[in-house]
Copies of this chain bind each other. A is one copy, B any other.
């Protein structure tokens, strides 16, 4: 108790004890949001799950909405990275696999929870928008590079991004079975082949199978 100095700003050494405690609190908060939604988030449960004093949670996040926002925002940065190996087909398979894992994680489910239940809260809505926008923007940037290098034909990159990420999110949130690397390969192969084929026939009617 003699060592508890709430008036003093804790040191913020990256990787230090304070950083570890903060990260632990944010991970615990995300896990509880994933389980119970925003409405069910309680400071004492966060502290218990993170293995810290309730005081630590209150001192770092006096405001509840900020705690929720930070728990979701820290997650968005590197959950599903898009690499540039020079081979867009291979990079997309890696991204779709990472996206499936990220969506199935507690933080991923917390995000999906907030998307639908925090419509009325502009601050949280902004955080969710930013995480999704950043994720889709990273994907779009990689696709844009591929277009510039002639690996892909020019197209609406937002729609193309949804065609790659959408199937993963539906599969994972429906929870029928795990989205595998083979699934990632199939989705990527079909979408890219379809894009290249339809672009090659641009202006011409889509090839059908019927004689009429």
Contacts and interface: CB of A to CB of B under 8 A. Distances in A.
Contact of A159 (B87, B89, B120, B187): B187
Interface string A128-157: 000010001000000000000011000010
Interface string A161-198: 01101111111011010000001001101111111011
Nearest to A119: B35
Contact of A168 (B166, B174, B189, B209): B166
A193 B193 contact: yes
Nearest to A164: B167
Contacts of A194: 189-195, 197
A158 B176 contact: yes
Contacts of A169: 166, 169-170
12 contacts: A36-B120, A37-B39, A116-B116, A151-B210, A156-B186, A158-B176, A162-B167, A163-B167, A167-B167, A186-B198, A190-B194, A193-B197
